[in-house]
Amino acid sequence: MLKRVFLLPLLFVSLMSLPASATEQISFSVARDGLTSDVVENVLIKVLANRRWNIIDNNDQKIEVSLHKRGTEANLHLLFDEKEVTIVSNSYCRSAPVWPDFKGGKNPCYPGRWINNIKKDTMKSVRQVNLSKNTTKAPKPTIKQRLIELRLLHEEGLITTTQYEVKQKTLLEEL
């Protein structure tokens, strides 16, 4: 009887010292008009670098990264194309106890906030890429168009003759 009482606490202590591990997966859409997998890859690499993830491997629409912080070793595999990003987490805690039930976000080894930050930053960056990509600039007016506009400004009295002659000379020098 004494042996059993002594062994149970020892068993509990040894279970607590084992690394707790967890594998989780999330997917989210990044689909936008004109978006390519190369653009998604560049966005992900920028986001991961800004969040200080170590890039281990990057090839064929898959990025493998790791982060060691606060007793958790997070290893992520990011699978992507021009429409979707999937993040698979295989992480473990070096110093956390083994929890019997990981439901309800109580898993200390699943770096959920870290992954949510990657998702949030990726979505924001993809939107910015598309906004800047869809913004069309008006074509620069030709020298002829600029000279005509300058002449009209002078004829309407909006600029002086001296201003007209100086600007006309600089435009003609651009030819």
pLDDT of residue 121: 92
Of 93 and 18, the structure prediction assigns the larger pLDDT to 93
Tell me whether residue 2 is in a domain: no
Full residue range of the structural domain in which residue 31 is found: 19-134
Looking at the domain assignment, is residue 14 inside a domain?
no
Same domain, 87 and 157: no
Examine the domain organization and report whether 103 and 84 are in the same domain. yes
Other Cβ atoms within 10 Å of 144 Cβ, number: 10
Higher per-residue pLDDT: 148 or 98: 148
pTM of the model: 0.57
My answer on whether 148 and 79 are in the same domain is no
pLDDT at 17 over 50: no
Quote the CA–CA distance of 167 and 109 in Å, as a whole number: 68
Confidence grade of residue 62 (pLDDT, cut at 50, 70, 90): very high
Q: Which pLDDT band holds residue 160 (cuts at 50, 70, 90)?
A: very high
Q: How far is CA 160 from CA 71, 145, 151, 165, in A?
A: 73, 19, 11, 9
Give the whole-angstrom CA distance, residue 41 versus residue 37: 6
**pLDDT higher than 50, residue 8:** no
Q: Is residue 13 part of a domain?
A: no
**Is 161 domain-assigned?**
yes
Q: How many domains does the chain have?
A: 2
- Residue 147: inside a domain: yes
Residue 22 confidence (pLDDT)? 59
How much is the pLDDT for 25?
A: 84
What does pLDDT average to over the chain?
76
Residues in CB range of 173: below 8 A, 6 or more apart: none
pLDDT digits (tens, 9 = 90+) for 71-126: 678 888 899 898 999 998 877 665 555 444 444 444 555 677 888 889 999 998 88
- Do 80 and 51 share a domain, yes or no? yes
Structure token pair of residue 110: 């699943």
